[in-house]
Amino acid sequence: MLLSKYLLPTLKEIPREAEIPSHQLMIRSGIMRQLASGIYEWLPLGLRVLHKVENIIREEMDSIGAQEVSLPAMQPRELWEESGRWDFYGKELIRLKDRNRRDFCLGPTHEEVITDLVRKEVRSYKELPLLLYQFQTKFRDEIRPRFGVIRAREFYMKDAYSFDATDKNAETSYNNVFETYSRIFQRCGLKFRSVEAQTGAIGGAFSHEFMVIADTGEEIIVSCKCGYAANLEKAEGVPPAKVGGKAGKRSGLKELEEVETKNMKTVEEVGKFLKEKPDKFIKTLVYKTNGECVIVMVRGDHEVNESKVKSYLGVNEIFLADEKTIKEVSGAPLGFAGPVELKIKCKLLADYSVEGIVNGVTGANKKDYHLKNVNINRDYSVDEILDLRRAKEGDVCPKCGKTLEFSRGIEVGHTFKLGTKYSKTLRATFLDKDGKEKYFVMGCYGIGVSRIVAAAIEQGHDQNGIIWPLPIAPFQVLILPVNYEHEKIRTISNRIYKQLESAGYEVLMDDRDERAGVKFKDADLIGIPIRVTVGEKTLAKNIVEVKLRGEKEVREVEPDQVQKLIPELTKK
């Protein structure tokens, strides 16, 4: 491909709206352009990378017997109501009406559609296991699209769905896809790890995320040298050692005391005044979900993990209550709520850490007052004690007890063991070998194809531009004639170009009438793995320069030796 005829509009300046390297470089290198917030146009260079990733995924999915289908992006409301997700999915679901005022949505995922297809077409256990997949644009009305295609409203992904006759067989399918995903990300040249994750709006028994390791990743990975790894939403909290034994059987309990704390609302303010550490506080938060209130309590130095709360309650959204609701529930304004003598009965949930607090501090449900020496089961009771807090630095591993490590990553894949969640709600059944009707046992597996492109750039870049992994680079070789108008340079460049193309390499030649400095800057920016520089000075010695994008070393070879050198470089 000649660069003079290629749509590759590079930019010198960093776009103002781009926050992280991948977003900046994807726009500057001419990979994509923004049409609207969270909606992007893919230009030729970017589309080549996208197709490379897609082909790797397709080859690996086909290798385990998966069959490719294509499902509609526009889905009828009736299917989503049948599964119970029309309202459950929340505001991220983009809803629309056709000319007949019938309700549809733009699919963020395809569990309903694929289950509907299989319940109509598959009748017998003899047709199982079945693994179907597709590539398609998905739509989610993100509250805050950011980081380019990493958090977009329209994105390209591969989703797959397995159907099995038994739970054991379903786990086999899950493990097959899990291993396939590992091969896919290895082939894409990515450094990644799999972690335990929440099932979220998809649902199911358990799930794993595949994270590309990157300092700019918006996901936090919690891991241990023993092999345990989870994202921050899923990371388990270990019940702390109970002070003085189990709650309700502890000694040294002091008498409940009300203390005036005028205009002091935060743990920091009240703690300083009372000379108490944050770990003595019972932080009490009022949430609303589905029109009901829920009170969640964590230790003062901890934060509520809303994903764990949503998972326990079986809801897709929860919101911190407004001041009016807080006052109705507690009788006091924001900052003074506590679990003792609430005005309105709500479900009370406490994190493990709360059970270990002896003679704690909490709001008195009275303006400008807090309570000291508050103890669970004596002064208040809860409906459930469970793991509800976010993991934090210094926490110990739930598997081996060693200190956990924290790092950042970008989610590029997610696997779910769905079980019969969708087959039951959509009444998708088959006949087993005894002629009995059974529900399909399902799995769901997604890969963010467009996210992989951004994640690869986050992992591979420097101050000058992109450093592509060779397997997904848009071109393998860039030929850079310093002055294409120079007859000898042009002749040698064209000869190398034709030799490499004939040998099956993907080659881009910068034949533009531009200054050498512009060409070198663009070469570094777009990040083609191998650059062959043809200049007047080196040709005087009958040599050209060959350089790998991620290395400083420059190799000098005769023009006719370039074709022999490239295979050696592409093995690295």
User: ∠ at Cα 214 (213, 217), nearest 5°?
Assistant: 110
Q: How far is CA 518 from CA 111, 116, 129, 187, 274, in A?
A: 49, 55, 56, 32, 65
Do 292 and 325 lie in a common domain? yes
In a domain, residue 175? The reply is yes
Q: How many CB atoms lie within 10 A of CB 219?
A: 18
The CATH number of whichever domain residue 306 belongs to comes to 3.90.960.10
Q: Is the CB of residue 189 less than 8 Å from the CB of residue 471?
A: yes
Q: How many CB atoms lie within 10 A of CB 494?
A: 16
Residues of the chain with pLDDT > 90, as a percent, come to 81
Q: Per-residue confidence at 324, pLDDT binned at 50, 70, 90?
A: very high
| Domain assignment of residue 481, given as a range | 475-570
Quote the pTM value.
0.84
Do 134 and 57 lie in a common domain? yes
Do 82 and 224 lie in a common domain? yes
The CATH number of whichever domain residue 562 belongs to comes to 3.40.50.800
In a domain, residue 188? The reply is yes
In a domain, residue 415? The reply is yes
**Of 356, 386, 416, which closes a domain?**
386
Identify the pLDDT of residue 61: 98
144 exposure class (CB count in 10 Å sphere: 0-12, 13-18, 19+): exposed
In a domain, residue 247? The reply is no
Write out pLDDT tens, residues 427-438: 999 999 999 999
Closest alpha carbon to 90 in 136, 139, 39, 141: 141
Do 168 and 274 lie in a common domain? no
Do 410 and 509 lie in a common domain? no
Question: CB-based contacts of 403: which residues, under 8 Å, 6+ apart?
Answer: 224, 394, 395, 396, 397
In sequence order, what DSSP letters do the residues of 128-162 get, joined into one string?
Answer: -SEEEEEEEEEE---SS-BTGGGB-SEEEEEEEEE
Q: How far is CA 374 from CA 115, 279, 358, 377, in A?
A: 51, 13, 7, 10
Identify the pLDDT of residue 246: 47
Average pLDDT over residues 466-494: 97
Q: 243 pLDDT exceeds 50?
A: no
In a domain, residue 499? The reply is yes
Do 369 and 425 lie in a common domain? no
State how many domains the chain has: 3
Q: Is the CB of residue 563 less than 8 Å from the CB of residue 556?
A: no
The CATH number of whichever domain residue 114 belongs to comes to 3.30.930.10
Q: Per-residue confidence at 122, pLDDT binned at 50, 70, 90?
A: very high
Q: How many CB atoms lie within 10 A of CB 225?
A: 11
Q: Per-residue confidence at 565, pLDDT binned at 50, 70, 90?
A: very high
Do 213 and 339 lie in a common domain? no
Identify the pLDDT of residue 245: 39
Do 380 and 416 lie in a common domain? no
Do 202 and 310 lie in a common domain? no
Pairing of strands 219-223, 405-419: antiparallel
Q: Is the CB of residue 461 less than 8 Å from the CB of residue 25?
A: yes
In a domain, residue 451? The reply is yes
Range in 87-91, 441-445, 568-572 the model is least confident about:
568-572
Range in 78-92, 195-209, 353-367 the model is least confident about:
195-209
In a domain, residue 315? The reply is yes
Do 221 and 278 lie in a common domain? no
In a domain, residue 513? The reply is yes
Do 293 and 369 lie in a common domain? yes
Q: Per-residue confidence at 200, pLDDT binned at 50, 70, 90?
A: low
Average model confidence (pLDDT) for the chain? 92
Average pLDDT over residues 320-337: 92
Do 184 and 60 lie in a common domain? yes
Identify the pLDDT of residue 238: 74
Closest alpha carbon to 302 in 356, 263, 258: 356
- Rg (C-alpha) for the chain, rounded Å, is 29
Strand partners for 130? 163
Cα maximum dimension of the chain: 96
Q: Please state, in angstroms and rounded to a whole number, the distance separating the CA atoms of residues 58 and 66.
A: 9
Identify the pLDDT of residue 247: 46
Write out pLDDT tens, residues 4-54: 999 999 999 998 889 899 999 999 999 999 999 999 999 999 999 999 999
